[in-house]
Amino acid sequence: MSGKAEHRSRGPLMVVPAALWLLLFFTLPLLIVVAISFVERGRAGGVKLPLVFTLAYYQRLVDPLYLGIFWSSVRIALIVTGACVFVGYPMALFISRVAPRGRNAMLLLVMIPFWTNFLVRTYAIKLLLSTEGVVNNLLLGAGLVEAPLDLLFNNFAVVLGLVYGYLPFAVLPMYASIEKFDMTLVEAAADLGANLRRAFLRVMLPLTAPGIVASVILVFVPVVGAFITPDILGGGKVEMIGTLINRQFGVARNWPFGSAMSLALMVMVVVGVAYYFRTSAEKERPL
């Protein structure tokens, strides 16, 4: 594959349409977000003209109220990611050890949620947990409670809904890693004197780590900025970064503040992912 001199211009030409589109409709808007976060808001929304530079919104962000919301979003994201990995890894392991026919069917079953609308799936959880929903009906019918429980509009519902939504995203990358893993390596470890725990921790886990890393990133990043699930299952009582940002562009009409929050979220995500990526890449020479 030599870069022939005659075709030196062909590569760039092929890339230009997409590059232009993304520069115009992705990069530029992001730059505007950054810019707007430093500018005073207008009285009726939008920005005040002529533009006035201010750091007020960043100062507001550092307020314990908002820091608390950021922190609780991260906490929720960590819990959801942890749950997905802890449930998903054994699941992936199980699927990889099933006979090929069954394996494909199971993978399909894991993939199907990918293809169904996220709103629909979140709604399904709302359906189950609502006061007129199946869970409450079962509990009432079995006589375990006397009045319907408030299962919705709290942290529990949001976490459950997020795990429900993102579990399939976690299973697939880990499955890919586990499937490639050669079990005879564990046998070799056992032959050399390692018990099950050590064989798993020292041999299997490091070698399937790339899949876990991918799963963590695929779950953590969307969850920390989630909006639909806390909005529908939290009903305004559970505040996460996503719902907070949405409010600034909705009823609160505070675009600069929302931009500042978005920037903070972006930085947090990019830094977190880069850091996680680098530390796990250092531990793991790519196979």
Q: Does 222 bind other proteins (CB under 8 A)?
A: yes
Q: Does 69 bind other proteins (CB under 8 A)?
A: no
Q: Which helix (H) or strand (E) holds 283?
A: helix 255-283
CB of 21 to other proteins, least distance (A): 6
What is the dihedral sign for C-alpha 270, 275, 281, 284?
A: negative
Q: Quick one: which of 80, 62, 79 has its CA closest to 264?
A: 62
Q: Which two tokens stand for residue 37?
A: 């976060």
For residues 206 and 125, is the Cβ–Cβ distance under 8 A?
A: no
Rounded to the nearest 5 percent, the helix, strand and coil shares of the chain are 75, 0, 25
Q: Quick one: which of 261, 264, 266, 255 has its CA closest to 40?
A: 255
Q: Does 27 bind other proteins (CB under 8 A)?
A: yes
Residue 222 neighbours by CB distance under 10 Å: 20
Q: Which is nearer to other proteins, 22 or 67 (CB)?
A: 22
Kindly tell me which residue out of 43, 62, 101, 115 binds other proteins, with binding defined by CB under 8 A: 115
- Residue for token digits 């509009």? 153
Q: Which residues from 140-159 bind other proteins, rule CB under 8 A?
A: none
Kindly tell me which residue out of 66, 164, 169, 257 binds other proteins, with binding defined by CB under 8 A: 164
Q: Does 68 bind other proteins (CB under 8 A)?
A: no
CB of 87 to other proteins, least distance (A): 6
Q: Which residues from 165-204 bind other proteins, rule CB under 8 A?
A: 167-168, 180, 182-187, 190, 196, 199-200, 204
Sort residue 226 into left (φ over 0), alpha (ψ -120 to 50) or beta: beta
Q: Does 93 bind other proteins (CB under 8 A)?
A: yes
Per-residue binding string, other proteins, 249-278, x by CB under 8 A, is x-----x--xx--x--xx--xx--x-----
Kindly tell me which residue out of 67, 134, 145, 149 binds other proteins, with binding defined by CB under 8 A: 134
Q: Which is nearer to other proteins, 65 or 108 (CB)?
A: 108
Q: Does 214 bind other proteins (CB under 8 A)?
A: no
- Interacting span for other proteins (CB under 8 A) from 59-67, 120-128, 208-216, 278-286: 120-128
Greatest Cα-to-Cα distance within the chain, rounded to the nearest angstrom: 81
